[in-house]
């Protein structure tokens, strides 16, 4: 494989393309070869689309040769979580029963990436119906976290997308985040992941889980790459009502401004409670980095986080909406579904309407309170996931252990969905066992520009994001 791949960033690949050091077709072929080499062991891709990839790569190459430049993603390969509609390809949402669910056209985000000249390599494995934080899929297979020879949890639900990027099978992959499904796998697999504010990116053509909470976001090697990807796919869409609230934001112009003078605060209450000691130490140590970069670093008692946990008993809203959206399959094929998902989702049928509506109303008040609390803070800092990745074997055959681990994965991230915050996770170190730890940078609603700026500044000052798994066991 050329020097520009497989662990190059989008920025580096774009520079190599424009410098004549590689071509879109060569890049596509190199990543397809790497997928063929690694995917049998890592299980990141559900379906590879080589014909489409090579056709798009050749088209990008012809355009670039003719002097047409569609921007930094032109000719760049990427992968899409198997929730995204791709014309002529099944959208299975991690469920074998949906193999005949063939998309008639590309979804909104895929169309935007087509317009940007990006090259789709294929679709990645997801937790069934995107309903789980640990990353388990008992039917399509659980992707193998590349940082350990023994199968460890990749995080979910965008498990395959994270493994694909972390192992160098793609420089960017699309995910979705309803309770942490971009950030959890990004953190556990040692890459960057952006959780966007509801309404910033269209969800049209993305298999839904919760209309209240679903968001779309990229998993990349760096926060800078996340910013480039975000800029390409954000914007209003008449097919998604939530994007009527779209706030146009220039995430690139201020990306290199650093953090001098910014007010950053460790979010106390809940986020650090019962967290793994090594995770806590590595996240706390980021305060020294930001301090040296000129940021004002403090701590605040963020009580809204505790209230968010209390207002999310059993994931009540997600369960109710997920059951509503998937009722046909749950009622008719319950025993044919992945048990780690079906037994959680079916509880949504028991949610009284008055309870669902009460929680929704209380969330609105809590979100308003949160914005007032954060008026004097530019961003919050906390662990993305309270524990590092653990062996799959610990939870594979034990529903109670799975439930415990799943909640540990989701706790810190789900709070941000409830409060409608945006966030980026970036790697901030490794445990003594060699497993990555993620720092979560929470920002106010629609303030993706600030969290990406902070994440980029941190990565300019550290090298955790430059480390790659050995994969000598594959």
Give pLDDT tens digits for 407-436. 999 999 999 999 999 999 999 999 999 999
Which pLDDT band, with edges at 50, 70 and 90, does 269 fall under? confident
On average, the pLDDT of the chain sits at 97
Mean pLDDT of all residues in 32-36? 98
User: Residue 363: what pLDDT?
Assistant: 97
220 membership: H or E segment, kind and range: strand 215-220
Residue 251: strand, helix, or coil = coil
Mean pLDDT for 378-397 is 96
Catalytic residue numbers read 81, 157, 181
How confident is the model over 308-322, as pLDDT tens digits?
Answer: 999 998 899 999 999
Query: Do residues 210 and 244 lie in contact, with contact meaning Cβ atoms separated by under 8 Å?
Result: no
Cα 253 to Cα 27, 178, 232, 256, 443, distances in angstroms: 28, 28, 14, 8, 18
pLDDT tens digit string along 85-106? 999 999 999 999 999 999 999 9
Q: Are strands 296-301 and 263-268 parallel, antiparallel or unpaired?
A: parallel
Element housing 159 (H / E): helix 159-166
* pLDDT value for 161: 99
Backbone angles phi, psi at 77, to 5 degrees: -75, 150
User: Which H or E run contains 172?
Assistant: strand 172-177
The Cα 303–Cα 237 span in angstroms is: 35
Q: In the predicted model, is pLDDT for residue 400 greater than 80?
A: yes
Query: Do residues 385 and 132 touch, judged by C-beta distance below 8 A?
Result: no
At 322, give phi and psi (nearest 5°).
Answer: -65, -40
CA dist., res. 469 & res. 424, Å (int) = 21
How does pLDDT run across 165-221, given as a tens digit for each residue?
A: 999 999 999 999 999 999 999 999 999 999 999 999 999 999 999 999 999 999 999
CA distance 38 to 60: 26
d(CA 163, CA 170): 9
The bridge status of strand 119-124 relative to strand 192-195 is: unpaired
CATH class given for the domain over 10-466: alpha beta
Per the DSSP assignment, residues forming a β-bridge with 383 are 439
Residues 38 and 54: their CA atoms lie apart, in Å, by: 19
Q: Tell me the residue ranges of DSSP E strands in 293-431.
A: 296-301, 379-383, 422-430
15 Rama sector, left if φ>0, alpha if ψ -120 to 50, beta otherwise: alpha
The pLDDT score that the predictor gives to residue 3 is: 47
Q: How confident is the model at residue 1 (pLDDT cuts 50, 70, 90)?
A: very low
pLDDT-based confidence at residue 396 (cuts at 50, 70, 90): confident
Given a cut of 80, whether residue 84 has pLDDT beyond it is yes
Cα 453 from chain centroid (whole Å):
18
Percent of the chain with pLDDT over 70: 99
What angle do helix axes 223-233 and 10-18 make, rounded to 10 degrees? 70
pLDDT bracket for residue 4 (50, 70, 90): low
Helical (H) or strand (E) element with 228 = helix 223-233
pLDDT bin (cut points 50, 70, 90) of residue 72 is very high
What is the reported pLDDT for 249? 86
Predicted confidence at residue 219, as pLDDT, reads 99
* Rounded-to-integer distance, Cα 263 and Cα 379, Å: 7
- 190 contacts 214 by C-beta, under 8 angstroms: no
- The pLDDT tens digits for 277-302 are 999 999 999 999 999 999 999 999 99
Q: Tell the residue number behind the tokens 């008639």, with chain if given.
A: 104
């Amino acid at each position: 494989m050329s020097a520009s791949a497989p662990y190059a960033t989008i920025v580096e690949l774009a520079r190599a393309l424009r410098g004549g050091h590689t071509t879109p077709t060569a890049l596509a072929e190199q990543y397809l070869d790497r997928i063929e080499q690694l995917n049998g062991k890592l299980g990141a891709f559900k379906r590879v689309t080589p014909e489409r990839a090579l056709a798009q790569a050749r088209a990008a190459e012809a355009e670039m040769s003719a002097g047409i430049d569609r921007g930094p993603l032109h000719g760049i390969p990427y992968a899409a979580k198997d929730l995204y509609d791709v014309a002529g390809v099944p959208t299975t949402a991690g469920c074998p029963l949906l193999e005949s669910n063939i998309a008639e056209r590309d979804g909104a985000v895929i169309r935007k990436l087509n317009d940007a000249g990006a090259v789709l390599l294929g679709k990645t494995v997801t937790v069934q119906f995107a309903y789980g934080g640990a990353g388990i899929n008992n039917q399509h297979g659980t992707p193998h976290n590349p940082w350990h020879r023994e199968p460890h949890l990749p995080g979910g639900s965008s498990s395959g997308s994270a493994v694909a990027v972390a192992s160098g099978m793609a420089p960017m992959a699309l995910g979705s985040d309803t309770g942490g499904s971009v950030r959890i796998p990004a953190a556990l697999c040692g890459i960057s992941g952006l959780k966007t504010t509801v309404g910033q990116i269209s969800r049209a053509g993305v298999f839904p889980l919760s209309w209240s909470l679903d968001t779309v976001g990229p998993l990349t090697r760096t926060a800078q790459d996340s910013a480039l990807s975000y800029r390409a796919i954000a914007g209003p869409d008449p097919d998604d009502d939530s994007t009527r609230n779209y706030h146009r934001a220039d995430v690139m112009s201020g990306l290199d401004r650093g953090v001098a003078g910014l007010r950053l605060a460790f979010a106390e209450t809940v986020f650090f409670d019962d967290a793994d000691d090594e995770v806590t130490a590595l996240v706390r140590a980021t305060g020294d980095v930001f301090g040296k970069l000129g940021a004002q670093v403090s701590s605040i008692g963020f009580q809204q986080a505790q209230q968010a946990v209390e207002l999310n008993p059993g994931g009540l809203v997600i369960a109710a909406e997920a059951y509503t959206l998937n009722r046909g399959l749950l009622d008719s094929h319950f025993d044919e579904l992945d048990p780690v998902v079906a037994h959680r989702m079916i509880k949504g049928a028991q949610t009284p309407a008055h309870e669902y509506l009460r929680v929704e109303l209380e969330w609105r008040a809590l979100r308003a309170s949160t914005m007032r609390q954060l008026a004097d803070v530019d961003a919050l800092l906390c662990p993305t996931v309270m524990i590092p990745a653990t062996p799959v074997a610990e939870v594979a055959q034990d529903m109670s252990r799975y439930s415990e681990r799943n909640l540990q994965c989701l706790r810190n991230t789900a709070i941000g969905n409830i409060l409608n915050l945006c966030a980026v996770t970036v790697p901030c170190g490794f445990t003594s066992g060699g497993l990555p730890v993620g720092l979560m940078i929470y920002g106010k609603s629609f303030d993706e520009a600030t969290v990406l700026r902070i994440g980029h500044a941190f990565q300019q000052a550290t090298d955790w994001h430059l480390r790659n798994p050995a994969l000598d066991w594959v």
